[in-house]
Amino acid sequence: MSENVNAETAASPETIDFAKMDPKFRDEVMEKLKNIDWTQCLACGMCTAGCPYSDVINNNDPRKFLRKLVLGMREEALKDPFIWNCNVCERCTVECPMGVNFGIITRGMRGQFGIPTPGFMDKVVNEHIHSGNQMDVPQDEYKETIEWIEEELQEELGDPNYKVTVGKKGAEFIFGLNAREIKYYSHELQEILKVFYYAKADYTLGEHRWDCTNLALFSGKNDDFCEIQRPFFEEAVRLGVKKIVVTECGHAYKSTRLFYEKFWDGPEFPIISILEVYDEWIKNGTIKVDPSKNPEPCTVHDPCNLVRKSGVLEANRNVMKAICSDFREMYPNRQYNYCCGAGGGGMAMPEFKAERMAKAKRKIEQVDATEAKVVAIPCHNCIDQFNDMNKEYKKGWKCTHITPLLVNALILPDWAPKKQEEE
């Protein structure tokens, strides 16, 4: 385990050298972190109290880091391991009486001061800029995967005329993917498209740009962030869709929302999570479900980027309650939930695995308290972390996105092909 992972040993006292304080550094930070007034900090320590991990690993104290900014401690701040130890989950911000947003501060410090990015985050960002997706999937491979999924669904649905909709102009919504759903988890995209089929959704996949993820969300480099995200929005404009619906991934959803709210200067688009779409379809009867088909005790994780940072508080649990007969909440939940430990790009920084696994114990305690056998995790980054902790700590959970549970609970409509009804 990394030497700075030590929940038992208190950090040694540090001496503040007033001669090294640089008032200009404070002004520089203020300029680069525009619209974030962190000078209102009361030094009360509520941020540190609210951080689930300030006592799990060393150098994970938000209050201490912010004081370095306030005091103009340039050298100490820019070299502080906190910058990359922080999960950028904003759990501390929930507790701050002055509303200081630490996630935005940390992201800005990462990207605006020339600090080297650990791991292979920059490599993935550069490949995304070049290829149009974070998995560096060639366009012909994308088309071949879609064709393979189409053939699989024709057989599975019993509908030889089924087609995956790609590049359709005027659709109700464009569905933004996580590139993992093409590169590694095409079976999960297949499940999503199955739900679209039974809902008779008016959708399209992107033809030229289709990936909504963006690792520059974590590196904090806004030029890279915009270069990655803008082409997907331009694809939505080209196709003339009314909405953007983002796949079951908190990071992809937050990236899309952040770009739209801060950097997009084109037509307006509602940005919607697929979980919100599922929730609406279940409530209005577009799709019907039978929760008895998922009888095992189930719980659901609240991804920070989807729930706390984007306000999608109810859709994931509404869907789970509708499709599972024994749904159990983790506590705390919603905006008070704990980051799984992979936030802030942790999965793209392999040298931080020991820290990730140390932080995972907080989430394990939450899951274990529910005694759930199935853990639904509506985020690709989070589910990778859960799979790692499941293996590391030998928990034996079934870790899944929500969509497979939804598909399992579907009641097929009367018009469904005979083959499906017989099965």
Q: What is the pLDDT of residue 318?
A: 98
Q: What is the pLDDT of residue 333?
A: 96
Q: Give kind and range of the element (H or E) at residue 174.
A: strand 173-176
Taking the C-alpha atoms of residue 211 and residue 180, their distance in angstroms, rounded to an integer, is 9
Q: What is the CATH number of domain 288-410?
A: 3.40.50
Q: Are 285 and 269 in contact (CB under 8 A)?
A: no
Q: Which CATH class is domain 18-112?
A: mainly alpha
Dihedrals phi, psi of 296, to nearest 5 degrees: -70, 150
The number of beta carbons lying within 10 Å of the beta carbon of residue 114 is 6
Would you say how long the chain is, in residues? 423
CA distances from 97 to 304, 307, 385 (A): 20, 20, 31
Q: Which among 173, 164, 414 has a CA at the least distance from the CA of 288? A: 414
Name the token pair of 47.
């941020």
165's CB contacts (< 8 A; 6+ apart) are 171, 203, 204, 205
- What letter would DSSP give residue 78? H
Taking the C-alpha atoms of residue 379 and residue 254, their distance in angstroms, rounded to an integer, is 11
Residue corresponding to tokens 């609406």? 280
Residue corresponding to tokens 């938000």? 62
365's CB contacts (< 8 A; 6+ apart) are none
Name the token pair of 9.
């040993």
- pLDDT means per 10 residues, the chain with 423 residues, are 43 60 86 78 90 91 91 92 94 91 91 92 95 96 97 96 98 97 96 98 97 96 97 98 97 97 95 98 98 98 96 97 98 95 92 94 96 97 96 96 98 83 46
Q: Report, in this order, helix, strand and coil percent for the chain, each rounded to 5.
A: 50, 5, 40
pLDDT digits (tens, 9 = 90+) for 21-38: 888 888 888 888 876 777
How does strand 243-246 pair with strand 288-289?
unpaired
Cis before 62? omega within 30: no
Q: Are 412 and 156 in contact (CB under 8 A)?
A: no
Name the token pair of 254.
């937050």
Helix or strand or coil: residue 110? Answer: helix
How does strand 243-246 pair with strand 410-411?
unpaired
| Domain ranges for the chain | 18-112, 122-281, 288-410
Task: Please compute, for residue 397, the number of CA atoms within 13 A of its CA located in the half-sphere on the CB side.
Answer: 29
Q: Give kind and range of the element (H or E) at residue 171.
A: none
Model confidence pTM above 0.75 = yes
3-class SS letters over 211-278: ECCCCHHHHCCHHHHHHHHHHHHHHHHHHCCCEEEECCCHHHHHHHHHHHHHCCCCCCCCEEEHHHHH
Q: What is the pLDDT of residue 36?
A: 72
Q: Are 309 and 337 in contact (CB under 8 A)?
A: no
